[in-house]
């Protein structure tokens, strides 16, 4: 099967490709944003390694979001000090 050029694609195929690209960039951007703001102690493994993993198409950001982050412990009411505001 020969490769199709962009001009050979119909409108539906073009929309699917553009939509997939937007989704991929949104997932990667969101994962990199999360990684940049999360302390290293809240990440499983090296932040540099995860930054590279996120660059892998769709699967990289999904793997980071599922397995790369440590669970956040909720703040208990007893630990909250209203005078620190």
Judged against a pLDDT cut of 70, whether residue 29 lies above it is answered with yes
Within a domain: residue 79?
no
**What would the pLDDT profile of 34-52 be if each residue is shown by its tens digit?**
999 999 999 999 999 999 9
Within a domain: residue 29?
yes
Within a domain: residue 77?
no
The two tokens of residue 22 are 């937007």
Range of the domain at 29: 13-70
Burial of 35 (0-12, 13-18, 19+ CB in 10 A): buried
Within a domain: residue 56?
yes
Domain count, the chain: 1
Within a domain: residue 19?
yes
Please state whether the predicted TM-score (pTM) of the whole model is above 0.85: no
The Cα 2–Cα 9 span in angstroms is: 13
């Amino acid at each position: 099967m020969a490769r199709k050029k962009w001009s050979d694609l119909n409108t539906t195929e073009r929309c699917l490709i553009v939509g997939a690209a937007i989704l991929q960039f949104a997932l990667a951007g969101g994962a990199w944003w999360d990684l940049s703001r999360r302390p290293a102690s809240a990440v499983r493994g090296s932040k540099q390694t995860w930054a590279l993993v996120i660059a892998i198409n769709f699967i990289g950001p999904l793997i980071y979001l599922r397995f790369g982050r440590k669970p956040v412990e909720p703040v208990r009411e007893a630990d909250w000090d209203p005078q620190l505001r």
